[in-house]
Amino acid sequence: MCGIVGVLGREPVDEALVVEMRDRLVHRGPDAAGLWSSADLRVCLGFRRLAIIDPRPDADQPFLSEDGRFAIVLNGEIYNFRSLRSELETKGVQFRTRSDTEVLLEAYRAWGSGCLGRLSGMFAFAIWDREQGRLFCARDRAGEKPFHYALANGSFAPSLRVSVWVPQS
């Protein structure tokens, strides 16, 4: 188990609200807590961690791509992450961790939303793409890891069923 939360708003997000949301999930992730906000403060992602696959701190979430373009929070497990990792390594991807989170992020970078057809596991996740200004969210087919969200006052608040959501200008 882990816990993911976040808010995407038209105005700057109140980080304290996201921290409060995140910390209400301490029972889902007692090992670490993380928070990330975009430079314009319109996106804020929070995470409570139950460290299982790669318990080292460099695999903590929210996890950022090396170039800073992507930020991801993932609840669950990608069962076939090792085979996906091997496939991505043959394409030249270099990994910094042994985590399934980083593999999912790189799979999204390589295949976009098509990565979903390659995943085996139980998961709910959100990926912010700074360059595209887009939040991509998904959950496993069976809904084993639920994804709850709210639309309020022009903001999208995943407390983690939306596949792609793009804010209107």
Q: What is the dihedral of CA 97, 62, 112, 145, to 10 degrees?
A: 100
Alpha-carbon span 109 to 121, nearest angstrom: 19
The H or E element that residue 158 is part of is strand 155-158
- 85: alpha, beta or left? (left if phi > 0; alpha if psi -120 to 50): alpha
Alpha-carbon span 79 to 93, nearest angstrom: 19
Rounded to 5 degrees, what angle do the CA atoms 122, 37, 119 make?
20
Spatial contact of 131 and 142, defined as CB atoms under 8 Å apart: no
Alpha-carbon span 46 to 65, nearest angstrom: 16
**Quick check: is 115 catalytic?**
no
Catalytic residues: 2
